[in-house]
Amino acid sequence: FMLIEASQIDWAGHANNISDAMAEMDDLAETLKYLEHFVERHPDTLVIVTADHSTGGFTLAANGKYEWEAKVLRTMQHSVNYIAKQLVANEIHADSANRLFNLELNQEELSLLKKTKTTPKLDNSKNIYQDKKVSSTELAMLANVKHIIDNRTNSGWTTGGHTAIDVPVFAFGKRCELFNGSQDNTDIAKKIFTLLGK
C-alpha cells in the first residue's frame, strides 16, 4: 500500500493561484501516465485518485468571457511568487516586467504594478496565509500579479477556503469497479481495508 499526497494544489487553491494550480495538475498528469504504465506491467495493482475536498472555487471563463485563455499559463516561465519578489526588488520597467510574465503587459497592468510598489494596499480579509516574513508590499504585489494573470486567463475564484462540492474519484487497475459512482469518502477507506484483508 502506498499513499501519495500532492499538498501544493490545496495551497494554490487557498491562494487563488491559477498558475501554481495548473503546474500541480501538470505534475498529476505526468504521475498518472507513469502509474498507467506501471499498472500495465503489474496488473494486480489498483490506483485510486481522489481529494479530501475542493479548494478555492475555481471558475473558468470569468469576467463574462466564456473562453479560458490557458495559453497565458503555458507560456509562463516563473511562479507568481518569483515574479512578485522580482518586481518588489527591482525597478519596474515594461521590458523587465514583460520578461517576468513572458507576455506583453498593457499600460494599465504596468501602472498597477508600479502603484503597488509605491503605495501597497492589501485586503487582509483575502490573505488567509499571512506570512510574517513577507512584507506588505510583496503580499500586495503577489495579489496583483495573480489578478493580472486571472484577468488574462479569464479565471475566477469564489473563495480562499474549502468548498462543499463533491470531489471526483478515479480508479484504474484491479478491482477498480468498486470505486465507480458517487460514494461517501469513508466508504473508500472501508473498501481499501477490505481489499487489503483488514
Check which CATH number belongs to the domain holding 131 and give it. Answer: 1.10.60.40
Condensed to tens digits (0 to 9), the pLDDT of residues 103-133 reads 999 999 999 999 998 887 766 545 545 556 7
Residue 106 is predicted with a pLDDT of 97
Rounded-to-integer distance, Cα 142 and Cα 195, Å: 46
Q: Is the domain of 151 the same as that of 67?
A: yes
Q: Is the domain of 66 the same as that of 130?
A: yes
Q: Which domain holds residue 105?
A: 61-156
* Per-residue b or e along 95-128, where b marks 16 or more CB atoms closer than 10 Å to that residue's CB: eebeebbebebeeebbebbeebbeebebeeeebe
Q: Is the domain of 83 the same as that of 124?
A: yes
Q: How far from 15 is each of 18, 40, 49, 179, 184, CA to CA, in Å?
A: 9, 37, 23, 31, 27
Q: Is the domain of 76 the same as that of 137?
A: yes
For the chain, residues with pLDDT lower than 70 are 122-132
Residue 124 is predicted with a pLDDT of 55
Q: Is the domain of 141 the same as that of 79?
A: yes
Residue 136 is predicted with a pLDDT of 85
Q: Is the domain of 177 the same as that of 132?
A: no
Q: What is the 3-state secondary structure (H, E, C) of 16-46?
A: CCHHHHHHHHHHHHHHHHHHHHHHHHCCCCE
Q: Is the domain of 163 the same as that of 139?
A: no
Q: Is the domain of 166 the same as that of 142?
A: no
Q: Is the domain of 78 the same as that of 133?
A: yes
Q: Is the domain of 9 the same as that of 34?
A: yes
Beta strands in the chain (DSSP E): 46-49, 54-55, 162-163, 170-173
pTM for the predicted model, two decimal places: 0.85
Which residues are bridge partners to 170 per DSSP? 49
Other Cβ atoms less than 10 A from the Cβ of 32: the count is 14
Residue 134 is predicted with a pLDDT of 75
Q: Is the domain of 16 the same as that of 94?
A: no
Q: Is the domain of 34 the same as that of 90?
A: no
Q: Looking at the 3D structure of the chain, how many domains does it have?
A: 2
